[in-house]
């Protein structure tokens, strides 16, 4: 199959009429959403709204009805390998194999470009080194991933996704368990990389305070439905947040794609 990834052009991601049943519960219900090539869409919503499931359907790890297209083709027909060349996933809870060093872990990102034996070529190693260098991880190359701190570990998982060289980057809560400083580090890094590589970014986040500054579009998911969709300035308003999260916030709009949100304690 000729892959659209060869041209290096940004790829659209589109969910059309997508429903996901998990254990008899309709977690995602007839959802339509378009993420344009090269843009960043962040999906937010209360706990249990179906954010992670939506991403798992995209990455082919949750069965769904409807169609999801990655670039010009439907995801189901792509096969694991081609899908992995188009789509790199940073999972919410990555499995860190014990005793594997940073270089070898990041090198796993080359898997979809390798043959059935998954043997690494010199080119695979060069690309891995270049990514580690770019993310400032060169000095960590021979440390075991399971010995790193949370912030360092998250960089390493992002490194693996970048090594994959896919035009679409999917991140599920990439900042959970990180302090505010490290959250900003990771999100700023993704913003830089997206600009450098014209990546399409699909991301879920739960922290409303940072979400408004790192996306072109924000989609609010509520109980499996797409409740709101627009620019951060359109979506991150006190009334929307009050409706779906039940909290009072103050917003400060710097411009249409940069909104900070601060939360106030409720009167009981």
Using CB under 8 A, list all residues that contact another protein: 56, 59-61, 80-81, 83-85, 87-89, 91, 94-101, 103-104, 107-109, 111-112, 114, 116-120, 122, 125-126, 128-130, 132-133, 138, 141-142, 164
Query: In whole angstroms, how close is the CB of 202 to another protein at the nearest point?
Result: 13
Instruction: Choose between 87 and 186: whose C-beta lies nearer to another protein.
Output: 87
Instruction: Choose between 68 and 208: whose C-beta lies nearer to another protein.
Output: 68
Computed from CA positions of residues 181, 182, 184, 185, in that sequence, does the dihedral angle turn out positive or negative? Answer: positive
CA 231/CA 203 separation, integer angstroms? 15
Query: In whole angstroms, how close is the CB of 5 to another protein at the nearest point?
Result: 13
Query: In whole angstroms, how close is the CB of 42 to another protein at the nearest point?
Result: 20
Beta pairing class for 217-222 and 225-230: antiparallel
Instruction: Choose between 26 and 114: whose C-beta lies nearer to another protein.
Output: 114
30: left (phi over 0), alpha (psi -120 to 50) or beta: left
Query: In whole angstroms, how close is the CB of 18 to another protein at the nearest point?
Result: 18
Instruction: Choose between 190 and 218: whose C-beta lies nearer to another protein.
Output: 190
Contacts of residue 251, Cβ cutoff 8 Å, sequence gap at least 6: 212, 236, 237, 238, 259, 260, 261, 262
231 neighbors 218 (Cβ within 8 angstroms): yes
């Amino acid at each position: 199959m000729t892959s659209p990834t060869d041209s290096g052009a940004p790829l659209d991601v589109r969910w059309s009429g997508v429903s996901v049943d998990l254990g008899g519960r309709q977690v995602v219900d007839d959802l339509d959403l378009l993420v344009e090539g090269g843009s960043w869409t962040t999906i937010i919503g209360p706990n249990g709204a179906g954010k992670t499931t939506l991403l798992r359907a995209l990455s082919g790890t949750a069965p769904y009805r409807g169609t999801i297209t990655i670039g010009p083709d439907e995801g189901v027909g792509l096969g694991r390998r081609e899908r992995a060349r188009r789509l790199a996933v940073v999972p919410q809870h990555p499995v860190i194999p014990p005793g594997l060093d940073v270089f070898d872990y990041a090198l796993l990102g080359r898997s979809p470009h390798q043959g059935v034996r998954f043997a690494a070529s010199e080119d695979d190693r060069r690309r891995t080194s270049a990514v580690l260098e770019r993310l400032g991880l060169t000095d960590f190359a021979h440390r075991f991933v399971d010995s790193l701190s949370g912030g360092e570990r998250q960089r390493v998982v992002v490194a693996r996704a970048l090594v994959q060289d896919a035009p679409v980057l999917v991140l599920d809560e990439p900042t959970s368990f990180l302090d505010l400083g490290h959250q900003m580090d990771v999100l700023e890094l993704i913003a830089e990389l997206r600009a450098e590589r014209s990546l399409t970014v699909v991301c879920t986040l739960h922290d409303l305070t940072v979400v408004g500054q790192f996306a072109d579009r924000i989609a609010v998911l509520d109980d499996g439905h797409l409740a709101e969709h627009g620019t951060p300035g359109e979506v991150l308003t006190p009334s929307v947040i009050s409706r779906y999260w039940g909290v009072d916030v103050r917003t400060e709009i710097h411009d249409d794609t940069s909104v900070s949100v601060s939360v106030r304690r409720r009167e009981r």
